Amino acid sequence: MNDTIAAICSAGGPIGLIRVSGERAIEAVCAVFRAKNGKSMSEAPTQKLVYGTLHDAMGRMIDCCYAVVLRAPHTYTGEPMAELQCHGSTAVLTQGLEALFSQGVRQAEAGEFTRRAFLNGKMGLSEAEAVHDLITARTAEAARNAAAQVMGAVGSPVQQMRDELIGMVAHFHAVVDFPDEDIDPVLFDDAAALLHRTTSRLYAMAESYERGRILREGVPCVILGRPNAGKSTLLNTLLGRERAIVTNIPGTTRDLIEENVKVGQLLLRVTDTAGLRDTNDPVEQAGIDRAMAEASACSLILAVFDGSQPLNEDDMLVLARSAGHRAVAIINKDDLPRVLDEKLLKKHFLHIVPISAKTGEGMDRLLTLLPRLIGLEDGALDGALITNARQAAALARAAERCEAALYAATSGMTPDAVVMDAEGAIAALGEITGETVTEAVVTRIFSDFCVGK
248 contacts ligand GDP (rule: CB under 6 A)? yes
3-state secondary structure of 153: coil
Query: In angstroms, rounded to a whole number, what is the distance separating the alpha carbons of residues 413 and 417?
Result: 7
231 contacts ligand GDP (rule: CB under 6 A)? yes
Angle between helices 155-177 and 185-207 (to 10 degrees): 150
Query: In angstroms, rounded to a whole number, what is the distance separating the alpha carbons of residues 175 and 118?
Result: 36
Q: Tally the C-alpha atoms within 13 A of residue 359's C-alpha that lie toward its C-beta.
A: 10
Of 77, 198, 253, 299, the one binding ligand GDP by CB under 6 A: 253
Of 212, 227, 362, 434, the one binding ligand GDP by CB under 6 A: 227
- State the nearest-atom distance from the C-beta of 317 to ligand GDP, in Å: 13
Of 34, 162, 277, 333, the one binding ligand GDP by CB under 6 A: 333
149 contacts ligand GDP (rule: CB under 6 A)? no
247 contacts ligand GDP (rule: CB under 6 A)? yes
Angle between helices 125-136 and 439-447 (to 10 degrees): 20
96 contacts ligand GDP (rule: CB under 6 A)? no
Of 193, 204, 323, 336, the one binding ligand GDP by CB under 6 A: 336
24 contacts ligand GDP (rule: CB under 6 A)? no
Of 22, 111, 218, 230, the one binding ligand GDP by CB under 6 A: 230
- Which value, to the nearest 10 degrees, does the dihedral of the CA atoms of residues 97, 100, 102, 107 take? -60
Reply yes or no: is the peptide bond before residue 185 cis, omega within 30 of 0: no
111 contacts ligand GDP (rule: CB under 6 A)? no
> Which of 102, 82, 84, 105 lies closest to 93, judged by CA?
84
Interacting stretch for ligand GDP, rule CB under 6 A, among 30-38, 90-98, 321-329, 332-340? Answer: 332-340
Q: Give the rounded distance of the alpha carbon of 220 from its chain centre.
A: 15
335 versus 377: smaller Cβ distance to ligand GDP: 335
Instruction: Give the contact letters, 345-364, x = binds to ligand GDP (CB under 6 A), - = no.
Output: -----------xxx------
Going by their DSSP bridges, the two strands 266-272 and 257-263 should be labelled as antiparallel
> Which of 242, 215, 240 lies closest to 371, judged by CA?
215
Q: Tally the C-alpha atoms within 13 A of residue 21's C-alpha that lie toward its C-beta.
A: 25
Residues in the chain: 453
228 contacts ligand GDP (rule: CB under 6 A)? yes
152 versus 251: smaller Cβ distance to ligand GDP: 251
Dihedrals φ, ψ of 425, to 5°?
A: -65, -40
95 contacts ligand GDP (rule: CB under 6 A)? no
- State the nearest-atom distance from the C-beta of 234 to ligand GDP, in Å: 7
Interacting stretch for ligand GDP, rule CB under 6 A, among 12-20, 136-144, 172-180, 329-337? Answer: 329-337
Positions touching ligand GDP (CB under 6 A) are: 225, 227-233, 246-248, 252-253, 275, 332-333, 335-336, 356-358
